[in-house]
Amino acid sequence: MADVEKKDTVIVGGGPGGYVAAIRASELGQKVTLIEKGDPGLGGVCLNIGCVPSKALIAAGHRLQETLDSSTYGVSKTNATIDFKKTQDWKQKKVVDRMTRGVKMLLKKHKVEIIDGVAMMDNDHQLRVLKSGPKQFMDFDGGRKIEWNNLILATGSRPVEIPNFKFEGRVIDSTGGLNLPEIPKEFVVIGGGYIGTELAGAYADLGSHVTIIEGTDSILGGFDKDMVKVVVKNLKKKGIDIITGAMAKNSTQDDSSVTVTYEVDGKESSIKADYCMVSVGRKPNTDNFGLDMTSVKMDDHGKVIVDKQGKTNVDHIYAVGDMVPGPALAHKAFFEGKTAAGAIAGKNTANDWVGVPAVCFADPELAQVGMTASEAKDKGIEVATAQFPFAGNARAVSLDQPDGFVRFVYTKEKKNVVGAQVVGPEASTLAGELSLIVNCGMNVEDVALTIHPHPTLNEPIQEAADVALGLPTHI
């Protein structure tokens, strides 16, 4: 029997929650051990098979479209082609591998001990590290036994499978969608959430004919309807078919295609495609590493219940990222990792999701922070809204991207901003300023009195504040 090793701060999972917690814990003087099972590996879902490679494919699609048609600018059309193997190589080697190497280097610099293997919980005080791979559970009696002063769980999440759409062959999850060997001629996406919509847009730009099958009455259900309208219009312009109120029923496949059957209003239809990507949600990794051997409590969705500092009901055990409630987003996981590491160091840290931005890198991008008008009204807050269109912004027009708007939701009485939405060019970047405004509880007057550079895509933020004050300039 191996001896039990006593460690200081142990972190399970090296994704955005785990590796950021490790760095912060080390900065705050803790001796840190990080256990990562290697699938997907350091950087987690985000760096390896999520945020980062998806944005690389989206960027490649935009480049192709710009090269194919920039006639608006008087640039003549070229016979551009795409070598998708090269695109995939670039995405993997120059983007993903480079960024994950960076994470490893940062952890090394912060003297974080990295253990390769699967952590399995034994009880509230001990875990074992087993070798990764299919035999992992066979040597359950073996493995390194580890105890901790403090433990941070950051095991993340994985895609949900639906009946009759087992992930194999031409039925793929988002990871499969990111790693296709060729650009599909026909691509079916089941689930029009932000992951499905982003990859649908990327493949449409790369030349696929894409169909989105969505169960509810609209794609991007979590986003404000006025913003979604702008995106839907553009997705349709790209030739994407969006079928809403549709239930995916069945899939059959042969060597070269998959046939997807779905039902709308009781009527069944089928589409034959090269690939079918299912992106209907993700489930927390809380059921596959022995958490039931501990007294850590979970909610009805299988997520670990934590307090504002990320602390579970068990002393010295914290949990962060996709495995705890709240939006499953990398920037939320980063923040929670820092909060938990700070809490362990005795700092007065707390998670506060007032200003957490939700972003979708569709075309155009959209982002929202804080409350929408209807959410505010549901909470009994009297609010008004003011918006400024990108069509009135010189920079957006010169980029030939005039669709969309910036909108503030602010209290009627004091004009404090409680929410903001943006759909349009670089919405993801603008979301940073909007988060600051909401997080700081700024008044629209504060925003209106902040000089923004001209001509930039940030100006609609100031101009929307002017609209709120009844003093618009450019509309």
Ligand X SMILES: Cc1cc2nc3c(=O)[nH]c(=O)nc-3n(C[C@H](O)[C@H](O)[C@H](O)COP(=O)(O)OP(=O)(O)OC[C@H]3O[C@@H](n4cnc5c(N)ncnc54)[C@H](O)[C@@H]3O)c2cc1C
Q: Is residue 286 a contact point for ligand X (CB under 6 A)?
A: no
Closest CA to 120 of 131, 112, 109: 131
Q: Is residue 40 a contact point for ligand X (CB under 6 A)?
A: yes
Nearer CB in complex with ligand X: 12/465: 12
Nearer CB in complex with ligand X: 239/281: 281
Residues 225-284 that bind ligand X (CB under 6 A): none
Q: How many CA atoms lie less than 13 Å away from 61 in the CB half-sphere? A: 23
Our answer to whether residue 454 is catalytic in this structure is: yes
Q: How far is CA 225 from CA 220, 291, 374, in A?
A: 9, 39, 11
Nearest-10 Cα torsion for 216, 218, 220, 225: -130
Tell me the DSSP string of 416-444: BEEEEEEEETTHHHHHHHHHHHHHTT-BH
Rg (CA), the chain: 24
Residues 303-332 that bind ligand X (CB under 6 A): 321-322, 328-331
DSSP H or E segment with residue 67: helix 51-68
Nearer CB in complex with ligand X: 157/462: 157
Residue position matching structure tokens 């060997």: 181
Residue 153 and residue 317 in contact, taking contact as beta carbons nearer than 8 Å: yes
Quick one: which of 18, 61, 176, 425 contacts ligand X (CB under 6 A)?
18
Q: Applying CB under 6 A, which part among 46-54, 81-89, 92-100, 415-423 lies near ligand X?
A: 46-54
Q: Is residue 103 a contact point for ligand X (CB under 6 A)?
A: no
Residue 194 and residue 337 in contact, taking contact as beta carbons nearer than 8 Å: no
Quick one: which of 7, 50, 230, 246 contacts ligand X (CB under 6 A)?
50
CA 346, CA 340: separation in Å to the nearest integer? 10
Quick one: which of 9, 10, 11, 16 contacts ligand X (CB under 6 A)?
16
DSSP H or E segment with residue 159: strand 157-159
Q: Is residue 192 a contact point for ligand X (CB under 6 A)?
A: no
Q: Is residue 21 a contact point for ligand X (CB under 6 A)?
A: no
Q: Is residue 34 a contact point for ligand X (CB under 6 A)?
A: no
Q: Is residue 404 a contact point for ligand X (CB under 6 A)?
A: no
Q: How far is the CB of 54 from ligand X (least distance, A)?
A: 4
Q: Which residue out of 209, 316, 452, 454 is catalytically annotated?
A: 454
Q: Is residue 143 a contact point for ligand X (CB under 6 A)?
A: no
* Alpha-helical runs (H) found in 154-219: 174-178, 194-206
Quick one: which of 211, 285, 368, 421 contacts ligand X (CB under 6 A)?
285
Positions annotated as catalytic residues are 454
Residues contributing to the site for ligand X (CB under 6 A): 12-18, 35-37, 39-41, 44-46, 50-51, 54, 118-119, 154-157, 174, 195, 285, 289, 321-322, 328-331, 333, 361
